[in-house]
Amino acid sequence: MPRPRPAPGAAAERLQKYLAQRGLGSRRVIEEWIRAQRISVNGRIAELGQKVTEQDEVRLDGRLIKTRASAAAQAFLFNRSPGDPLLSNGTRSARDADGDRAALVDRLPRTAGRRFIAVSQMPSIDGGLEVVTSDGALAEKLQRASAKLPCEFSVRVKALLGPDQLAGVQSGKLDRPARMIIDSLTTSEAELEGSNRWYAIVARGASGKDIRQLFERQGVLVSRILRVSMGALKLDKTLSRGQFRQLEPEDIDALLHPKAAESAADGDSGD
């Protein structure tokens, strides 16, 4: 059977890229859908690598995909409170028992897209800086970049860590063979909350889950973790809990190309 061809005169893109750019998911996930024969194009089962245009009728599990690409890739930064749901899956699990905690992405403008992908999402019990985008290709790039970026976390521990425990955290040793690279670990008397202590830790490519494990390996109770920075991207006092802002092109570029951004910043400081 001949492979269906895109409509003449239209810019054709590979199916997985076409759907990823419209927020349906990452290219890897979409490729799995294609292999599972869940996607059809113009009434025929789609093939991996097939090219399509906006004039083609694309369906997922029989449902027509009515999406269009944004003029430019959009990404957003949220300041998420611990426990607040970030993404919506269209079910009751996106809300709490009272049904009054909608996902934070529901606050984004409709023009930003309908489905969003989180970049290195924090565990639901934690919070702080979260990045989302409706562009699957951009999400994939940001995810790869985030694995190398230094991230700062504020960690609330119900204990004052002793010298051996501090050394254990700074070792970056986890339950898996790979170790985290710890750039710094600090605390101060100004960060006391009763029997709790707040620690600021900067680690490269660390997830919230990794940070919790790192402290809990020292035999202490971690009650809260907040991510306050990801590379050059930082939370500031102007962004209250639950609020968001759209990332500027230079913000996205700094995440994708951190060395270039650092060089530019060094050049500006020398003027």
User: Which structure tokens are listed for 5?
Assistant: 């061809």
Radius of gyration of the chain (CA): 22
C-alpha distances in Å from residue 241, one per residue of 19, 154, 196, 260: 32, 15, 22, 31
179 secondary structure, DSSP code: B
* Region 75-147+239-246: CATH code: 3.30.70.580
248 and 256 Cβ atoms separated by less than 8 Å: no
Nearest alpha carbon to residue 228 among 169, 186, 178, 172: 186
Tell which CATH architecture fits domain 150-230: 2-Layer Sandwich (3.30)
Q: What are phi and psi of 40, to 5 degrees?
A: -125, 150
pLDDT of the residue at 145: 92
Nearest to 231 by CA among 210, 257, 212: 257
CA angle, 136 as apex, 15 and 5 as ends, to 5°?
A: 10
SS3 readout for 238-253:
CCCCCCEEECCHHHHH
User: Can you give the pLDDT at residue 143?
Assistant: 92
Percent of the chain as helix, strand, coil, to the nearest 5:
25, 30, 45
**pLDDT truncated to tens, each residue of the chain (271 aa)?**
444 454 444 568 888 888 877 767 778 888 999 999 999 999 999 999 899 888 889 998 998 876 555 545 689 999 999 999 998 764 333 344 334 578 999 888 776 767 889 999 999 999 999 999 988 888 989 999 998 999 999 999 998 899 999 999 999 998 888 888 999 999 866 566 678 899 999 999 889 999 999 999 999 999 999 999 999 999 988 899 999 999 988 999 999 988 754 554 445 555 5
Q: How many CB atoms lie within 10 A of CB 116?
A: 24
Amino acid 126: pLDDT: 96
Handedness of CA 164, 165, 169, 174 (dihedral sign): positive
Residue ranges of domains in the chain: 13-64, 75-147+239-246, 150-230
- Arch. (CATH architecture) of 13-64: Roll (3.10)
Q: In whole angstroms, what is the distance from residue 191 CA to residue 198 CA?
A: 5
